[in-house]
Structure 1
C-alpha cells in the first residue's frame, strides 16, 4: 500500500499538482502539459505524463467507486452537457495546438461521453468507450454516430480516415462489443457519388429515378393522346420480342416498327456465329473493365443461344415465336428496366442512355401489364389477329397459340403469370440495390429503433 501511495505522490509531482487534487484538475493539468511538450518538441516526455495521468485517474475512479458506488448513467441516455470554458472538454475543437486525437476526445467529452480514448492508425480511427457507460452497442452507436458526423468535419486531420472502429471496454480490459463506422473520406466520396446522377453508385438515383419513371409511365398510359403518340415504342418492343426468339434460335429476323417482323425459317450460321462473337466481345469487354454484369449476360445468352439453336424442338420455336411478341412486352421491358442498375462497358454510354431506355421500357411494361389485367377482369378482349390482317387473321400471335391448343383462359393466365414474375424480379432488384446502397444508413436507423426500447 505504501508503495502505491508513493507512486501516486510521484504521479502528482510529475503533473505539478498537490497530492489529492480532483480528477478534473488532473485532466486539465495533463492536457496543458501535453500541449506544452508538443510545442517545445519534447514528445518523448509525453508517455511519462500519460502514465502518471492514467495512474491517478485509475486510482481516483476506484476510490470514487469504493466510497460512492452509485449506478453510472448510461451513455445512451445522456444528453450533451454545456461545459464551462475552463473545462478541457470544451476546448476540443477550439484548441488547434492540441493533437487531433485529443481534440476529438475533448469534443466527445463535451457532449456527455466519459473518458473516450482515441487512437489514430493511418486511415483508421480506434475509439474506445467505457463499457459501464455504453453497455449496449445499438443505443451507443445511435447516439455516437450523429456526434461524429458533427465533430469530424471540423477536424481536417481526420478527413482521410476511411473507417472508425468503435469498441466498449470493461475496466478489466475485456471488450464488450465492437462496431465499425465509415469515416470522413467515405462520407466525402459518397457525397460526390450522390451528386453525380450518371453514377451507378448515386443513392439519389437508386432511390428516386426508378419510382419516378414508373409514375411517369403510368401517367403516359393514362393519357390517351400520349399513349397513342408513343404507341410506336410498344410496337417495336413487341416486334423485338419476336426477333429475339428468332435470333437466339439461329434464324435471320428483321423487326420493323410498323408491326411486322420478317423471319426466315432456316437456321443461319451467320446469325449464330455473329451473335456468339458479339456475346464473346461483351464478355471480354466486361472482364477488361471489371464489370460483372456484362460478363454474366454474355455467358447466359451464349448458353441460351446454344440450347435454342441446336437442342430446342422445332415445335417449341414456332410456339415461342408467336408467344414472344406480347411476351417481349413483358420480359424485354423488364430486362431493360432492371438493366438501369447495371453498368456496361464504356462504349455503350449506358450511364446516359439508360434514362430514356428506362422510361420507354417502363411505359411498355405498364401498358402490357395493365392491358392483361383488364383482359383478366373481362374489361378488355384478347388481341386476336394482327395489326395489318385484322382480328380474323390466322397468322396473329393469339390465333397461332389457339390453334396450338391453348384455351383463352390459358393464354390470359400465362401472360398474367409472366407479368407477375417480371414484377417480382423488378421490385426484388429495386429493393436489393436500395438495401445495398443504404445498408449503413438502414443499419443505423435500425439501431436507433432499437434504442427506443
Structure 2
C-alpha cells in the first residue's frame, strides 16, 4: 500500500510547507486541510447516484444560452406589437363594420359612445356645457363663462403637471387643449360653434379614435401599459375610427349613402342638421369628414413608423438583441 507524498505548499494559503503540523502563515493544520481537499475531490469525481449524468453535447451543435434575458424578450414582443396591432385592429373592425351584425354590435357598444363624446368635447372647447349619453348628447343653449373658466383651470393644471413631471405627452396635450379652448370660446361665434359641435360627432370618432389607438405606444412604466388598458383603448379607437371613415368613404362613392334623415327619439341626423340648419352642401360634408380622416391617418402613420423604429432601436440596444 502506497501513500501520496504531502505537497510542498500549504493547501490553504499556498505558502511553502514548514516542518511542523501547522502552517506558520495561516495557522491551518496540514493534515486537516489535505483531508478536506481529498474529500472535495472525491465528491466532484463521483456525483450522487440519483442525479442523472448529462450526455456530452455533440461538438457540431451551437452552445446553449445559459441565461434568459427577460428585458430582451419584452423588447422583441413590443416590436411585434407595434408592427401588427394597429393594422390588425383597423382591418378587423373594417371587416366587422362591413357586416350587418358586426356593424350593429360595434356601433352600439363602442363607436356610438365615442361619437357622443365627440359632440360633448367639441361643446366644452367652445364654451357650452354638455352631457354625453346613449345616442344623444344634452348641450346647453347658451355658453357658460363659469364653465369655461373651470375648464381652463383644469387644462392649466394638466399643463403644469406635464411640465413639472417633464412628461412631454401630457405637456403637449395640455397646451394643445388650452389653445383649442381659447380659439373655440373667443374667436368662434355661436352659430359656427353649433355647427362644429354637430360636426364633432363623426369628427370625434376620427380624432378621438386616433388618440385612443395611439395609447398603444404608452411607456412601459405607465398605467396604460401595465394595466392592459391600451389594448381596450386600441379596440375602441379602431372601432370608432373605421365606423366614421366607412360612412363617409361609402358616401364619397355613392351620394345615396350620406346619412340624411331622422333618428327616432333624437331628431335630425348630424348630416341633415349640417345641411338644413347650417347650409353645408353634400360635397362639403364628404370633403370635410374625409379630409379630417386623411389627416388623422397621416398622423397615425407617422407615429406608427416612429413607434416601430423606436422599438427596433430599443431591441438593438440590448446586449443580446436580435432586432
Q: Does 1:337 align with 2:213?
A: yes
Task: Report deviation, 1:356.
Answer: 0.7
1:415 is aligned, of 285, 289, 293, to: 289
1:382 is displaced (CA, Å) by: 1.0
Tell me the equivalent position of 1:244.
121
Which one of the candidate residues 373, 376, 384 is aligned to 2:252?
A: 376
Instruction: Check conservation: 1:385, 1:399, Cα contact below 8 A.
Output: yes
- Confirm whether residue 207 of structure 1 aligns to residue 80 of structure 2: no
The aligned counterpart of 1:254 is 131
Structural mapping, 1:68-107, within 5 Å: none
Q: Deviations over 1:42-89 (max 9, x none)?
A: xxxxxxxxxxxxxxxxxxxxxxxxxxxxxxxxxxxxxxxxxxxxxxxx
CA RMSD of aligned residues (A): 3.2
Higher strand share: 1
Matched, 1:358 2:231: no
Q: 1:432 aligns with which of 289, 293, 306?
A: 306
For residues 267 and 204 of structure 1, the distance between their equivalents in structure 2, rounded to whole angstroms, comes to: 47
SS in 1 for 2:228: helix
Aligned equivalent of 2:188:
312
CA distance in 2, matches of 1:347, 1:203: 19
* TM-score between both structures, scaled by the size of structure 1: 0.50
Give a deviation string over 1:24-59, Cα, whole Å, max 9, x none.
Answer: xxxxxxxxxxxxxxxx9xxxxxxxxxxxxxxxxxxx
**Contact 1:286/1:345 (<8 A) preserved:** no
Please give the residue correspondences for 1:148-159 in structure 2 after superposition, counting only pairs within 5 Å. none
Query: Given that residues 207 and 434 in structure 1 are in contact (C-alpha distance below 8 angstroms), is that contact kept between their aligned partners in structure 2?
Result: yes
Secondary structure of 1:421's aligned partner: helix
Contact 1:322 1:400 in 2 (8 A): yes
How far apart are the structure 2 equivalents of 1:251 and 1:388? 25
1:147-193 CA distance string (max 9 Å, x none): xxx99x78x9xxxxxxxxxxxxxxxxxxxxxxxxxxxxxx9575154
Distance 2:223 2:154 in 1: 14
CA-CA distance at 1:419 after TM superposition? 1.5
Distance in 1 between residues matched to 2:90 and 2:239, nearest whole Å: 8
Tell me the residue number matched to 2:275.
402
Following superposition, the deviation at residue 274 of structure 1 comes to 3.0
**Aligned partners of 1:344 and 1:262: how far apart in 2?**
38
Q: Which residue of 1 aligns with 2:51?
A: none
| Matching residue of 1:295 | 171
Superposition deviation, residue 440 in structure 1: 7.6
User: Is this contact kept in 2: 1:203–1:438, CA < 8 A?
Assistant: yes
Decide whether aligned partners of structure 1 residues 411 and 363 sit closer, same or farther in structure 2, where only a CA change above 3 A counts.
same
User: 1:238 and 1:299 mapped to 2: Cα distance?
Assistant: 24
Equivalent residue number for residue 16 of structure 1: none
CA separation of 1:281 and 1:189: change in aligned 2, threshold 3 A: farther
SS in 2 for 1:360: helix
**Whose RCO is larger (CA < 8 A, sep 6+)?**
2
Give distance in 2, aligned partners of 1:331 and 1:429: 14
Query: For residues 193 and 205 of structure 2, what CA distance do their matches in structure 1 show?
Result: 18
User: In structure 2, do the counterparts of structure 1 residues 193 and 280 end up closer, same or farther at CA, with 3 Å as the change threshold?
Assistant: farther
- Given the superposition, is the C-alpha separation of residues 289 and 248 from structure 1 closer, same or farther in structure 2, using an over 3 Å criterion? same
CA distance in 2, matches of 1:345, 1:265: 43
Q: Is the 8 A contact 1:291 1:345 kept in 2?
A: no
Show the counterpart of 1:130: none
Deviation at 1:288, TM superposition (A): 4.6
- For residue 358 of structure 1, report the CA deviation from its aligned partner: 0.8
CA contact (8 A) 1:294 1:344 kept: no
- Indicate which of 146, 149, 158 corresponds to 1:282: 158
Q: 1:285-330 CA deviation, whole Å, 9 max, x = no partner?
A: 4345432111110111112112211222223202201211121121
> In structure 2, how many angstroms separate the alpha carbons of the residues matched to 1:348 and 1:191?
21
Distance in 2, matches of 1:350 and 1:217, equals 25
